[in-house]
Structure 1
C-alpha cells in the first residue's frame, strides 16, 4: 500500500471530477493511491440530459453514470466505489456510515476530501459532509488507543463548491494542477450527462491558478484547485 492515500467522498458520481480531479491525478502521479467514493449516482437531480431519452429509467441512468464515473476515475488513476444511496435527497443511514467508516479503516487514508457543510442550493452536499465527518471520527476514535479497530487520523479538507461565497468556503490551500490539467479535462469530458459544467470548471481552474500565482509569485502556475482545511495540519517548522 502506498504511503500516501487520498480518499475523496462525493455526494454524486461526478462531484470528484469537477472539484478535485486535478489533485487526484497529481496525487497518483507522485506515487500516492487514490480512492473515490460516490454516495449516489445523481440519477434524479443531476442527469437531466439523460432523462430526455425516450423510455429512460432510473436504473439505466445509474448504469450510464457509473460508466462515466469509472472512465473519469481511470483517467486520474483512481479507484471508484459507489454506495448507491439515492439522491435528492441523499439518504444517509447508520449502516451506510458504518460502511464508509469500515472502508476508511481498511484504506487508512492520509488525506480525506469532501463537500463543505453548507450549500443553500443542494441538499445532498451537506449530508455528504456530515456522513464523512462522522465516519472519519468513528475511524480515528479520539486519537488514542480504542476498543475498536481504528486508522491513524487523516488530514481533512473540503473541496470548492459551485457557489463558494454562499457555502462558507474560504480557501486555505491552493494546489497547482497545471501539469495534470489535461487529465482533468479528459475526466470532465467523460461526464456527458453534465457537459455544461466542463467549461465552467475549466475556467474556475484558471481563476484559482491566477490566485495561486498571486500568493506564490510562481508565474508558471496556470491552473489550480482550491480547498479549505477543517482540521489544522501539523508541521515541524514554518
Structure 2
C-alpha cells in the first residue's frame, strides 16, 4: 500500500461507468500512481448492478444485495490499488446522462484538481454506459475549467485525458497510442482483480491482455532496454494533443 499522499501530491482522477471498470482497464496505472505517493480518486458512476452482475442475479440476490456486493468488491479493489473510490449510484443499464450528474463530476474535478484524467473511450457498441460516462467526464472537465461555472473550488487547468482500453477494442475504434509498462505493479492489479468475484470470468482475460500489451510495449521500446521475459502493459488513447517542448 502506498503512503498517504500529501495535499500537494500529483493527482489522478478516474471516471468509470461501473464498479469493476477501473480495475480491468486502468488498475496498473492506478497502482503505479499510488506507488509514487500520488493521490488517485475513482469516480464510480454505478455499481454495475444490473448489467455486470449476472452471477449474483442467477443466485437470486436482490437489487440492494447486489449493490452492496459490488460496492464491497470495488472498495476492496480500490484499497488494494491504493486509491479512494466514490460511488454515485446513478443506475446502470442504462446510465443516463443528466445535468445533476455532470455537476457532481464538476465538483470532483474542482476538488481533486487532477493532473491526469482516465476514462472510457467514446465508442462502444456493446455497452452504451461506457460512452455515456466518457461524454459526462469530458463535459464536466470543460465546465470545471470555466471560471464562471457555479461550482465550489478553483477553476480546473487542462489535465490530459487518457482513454483506457475497452473490452472489445477492435469494434470500439480503439487503437493503442500509449503503452504503459505496469510490470512492477501487475501483481497488485491481479490482486485487485481477484477482489471482483462477481466477474471472475474476466481475471484470466485481463491477465492475458496485459501480457499481450507487454509484448507490444517491448517491441515498440526496442530490444535492448532490459525488460524482463514477461512484461505487462496497459493501452491508452489521447483525445487531446500532447503539449511538449521535445519530440520523444
Shorter chain as normaliser: what TM range?
Answer: over 0.9
SS at match of 1:8: strand
Q: Between Structure 1 and Structure 2, how many residues are aligned?
A: 233
- 1:237 equivalent in structure 2: 246
Residue 227 of structure 2, aligned match among 220, 227, 235? 220
Alpha-carbon distance in 1 for matches of 2:226, 2:169 = 25
Structure 2 unaligned blocks of 5 or more: 1-6
> 1:112-156 CA distances to partner (integer Å, 9 max, x unpaired)?
111110001101011001000100100113xxxx33441111011
Structure 1 unaligned blocks of 5 or more: none
SS at match of 2:141: helix
Given that residues 2 and 32 in structure 1 are in contact (C-alpha distance below 8 angstroms), is that contact kept between their aligned partners in structure 2?
no
- 2:101 equivalent in structure 1: 96
Q: 1:91: how far off?
A: 1.5
Alpha-carbon distance in 2 for matches of 1:169, 1:35 = 24
> Does residue 40 of the first structure (1) align with residue 41 of the second (2)?
no
Structure 1 segment 1-238 matched on structure 2, within 5 A: 1-54=7-60, 56-141=61-146, 146-148=147-149, 149-217=154-222, 218-220=225-227, 222-238=231-247
TM-score (norm 1): 0.95
Structure 1 segments, 4+ long, off by >2 Å, are 146-149
Alpha-carbon distance in 2 for matches of 1:120, 1:128 = 14
TM-score (norm 2): 0.91
Q: 1:3: how far off?
A: 3.3
